Structure 1
Amino acid sequence: MALSEQERKLLEQLEASLMADDPKLADRLSGTAEVRVHRRRAALAGLGFVVGIVVLLAGVQVHPAISIVGFLIMLGAALLGINSWQRVGDDGAQPAKPAAPKNTPPTSDFMDKLEERWRRREQGDR
């Protein structure tokens, strides 16, 4: 349901007064601080991944144990980056995909087909 013009102006005035009175609270309620933190973490994870590649390649020249450390740095950075990037995407307020009813035929989506096969296999229907 769309807001009327008067309601929209009143809402903007309330937001402006909240920002003026308590900017920390307004920033926390809007979620922009969390998005910035997760974006920064994702960027640092990307940098850590590049550092891991450099350490891995340097370890090939020097000692194999250094290559293992480089790989672990890459793995940790990748996991941190994926986790942070997913949280940035979650804060984007995109609507979630509705769950499909159990008795619907499989759709063209690959994962839906796999889930339907799994359900049939668990029920004993092959």
Structure 2
Amino acid sequence: MKTDIWGTVNLPSPGIEFHDVVRHRMPFPSFRFLAEMLCIDEDLLGKRMGMSSALLSNATTVGFFPLSESRRLYGLIVALQASCELFEGDVQAAGVFLRSPLRCFNSNAPLEMLITEEGASAVIDLIGQLEHGVLT
């Protein structure tokens, strides 16, 4: 079963239109949807994504995230979509996977790896390996 994370968080699929959303800053309600989908408190999600309480408070007030955090949230959505595909549409299983510490990430959860582009690439690579049964 295919789960459309993009539609669930009220964002267009990756492409030009989504590029414009990220460039103009990710809306705070999308973050709220992500926290709900991952069954994680908004403050804890922000912390795991490397966001300060002050930044989250400001995003709540203005309704948008700065560009760097918008890019991190983009990485989270990509990872969540890939995880949902790995777990055949099971959003809860995908959330558990993203929140669980893994030895291959030095006991960090994939969610914590999404702070950097390199970490996000490593998470997506791992999901691809798991999907194809190729582990190194």
Bin the TM-score by the shorter chain: under 0.3
Higher relative contact order (CA 8 A, sep 6+): 2
Larger of the two Rg values belongs to structure: 1
Larger proportion of helix? 1
TM-score, structure 1 as length reference = 0.22
